[in-house]
Chain A
């Protein structure tokens, strides 16, 4: 896949780079993949550009993505479900993201958004995690869900419970 391009200060396209980074916050080690680009270093005291050395810089878009990834990593350490866990659960039981979202009481796109962009709230993240860890809760929520028909309920319940036997 071709790397994303970012414009340097001199308006020259450069590759967006990826790297694993660590942050320790209140004793918790958080790890996430950050995106950045390289450009000539600027001395913050003199305001001079050093054309012999490059440093990491971040566009606003990159910063937004990085901070989202960091927050996601933090919420996962605090007990929220990781997007990959949700995807793997849904794949295993063949539950569409929109159906899973409605069953859990979210709006149709919430689970899909979480899977693509990460968890945004600790309470939602923990609720999902609890459900992933206890299929009886999901089974119960399927029965209580008004937005899916009985055939679908039966089909989903069967798939969930078959695995338990």
Chain B
């Protein structure tokens, strides 16, 4: 996935992505999980008692500081996909969170939610 450099324009782009996500959720759109995301959530449920509501809360709390990778700036994809690193649940477990926003629709599609295998850089932090 593309890592956007820290510029005013890119910061605005990520902020727009986050704002659009929050708007969709506030308007009643539920997150849809892929098979992979479902399997990863199984681990989070059993290991840390983290559920789908915790994931949704984490998405609602995202800021540009949490940005990790994405979005394809070409705008040609059916989904704009972006990845973040964010704390989740009561114990603030850091997870890798990757989801897409349907460009011509309203779906929020969660591709990944798991504890990262390595420390993640957060290029927009600080």
Contacts and interface: CB of A to CB of B under 8 A. Distances in A.
A24 to B, nearest CB: 10
A44 B46 contact: no
A114 B33 CA distance: 26
A127 interface: no
B93 interface: no
Contact of B51 (A25, A34, A57, A67): A67
B35 interface: yes
B30 A59 contact: yes
A48 B42 contact: no
Interface residues of B, number: 34
B41 A63 contact: yes
A63 B46 contact: no
A44 B100 contact: yes
A contact patch SS: mixed
B38 A55 contact: no
B30 to A, nearest CB: 4
A61 interface: yes
A58 B33 contact: yes
B78 A57 contact: no
A67 B39 CA distance: 10
B51 A64 contact: yes
Interface string A19-44: 00001010000000010100000101
Contacts of A9: 102, 105, 107
Interface string A107-139: 000000000000000000000000000000000
A25 B44 CA distance: 11
A66 B109 CA distance: 18
B1 interface: yes
B41 A55 contact: no
Contacts of A80: none
Nearest to B107: A9
Interface of B: 1, 30-36, 38-39, 41-43, 45-47, 51-53, 56, 72, 77-81, 98, 100, 102, 105, 107, 109, 111-112
Given A42-B109, A47-B79, 16 more contacts: A9-B105, A10-B105, A23-B46, A25-B46, A44-B98, A44-B111, A48-B78, A48-B79, A55-B34, A57-B35, A57-B109, A58-B32, A61-B30, A67-B42, A67-B45, A70-B46
20 contacts: A9-B107, A25-B46, A25-B47, A36-B35, A42-B34, A42-B109, A42-B111, A44-B34, A44-B100, A46-B77, A47-B81, A48-B77, A49-B78, A58-B38, A63-B33, A63-B38, A63-B41, A67-B51, A70-B46, A74-B46
Report, nearest first, the 10 A-B pairs whose CB atoms are least far apart.
Answer: A47-B77, A47-B79, A60-B30, A44-B111, A58-B33, A56-B35, A49-B78, A47-B81, A63-B52, A67-B45
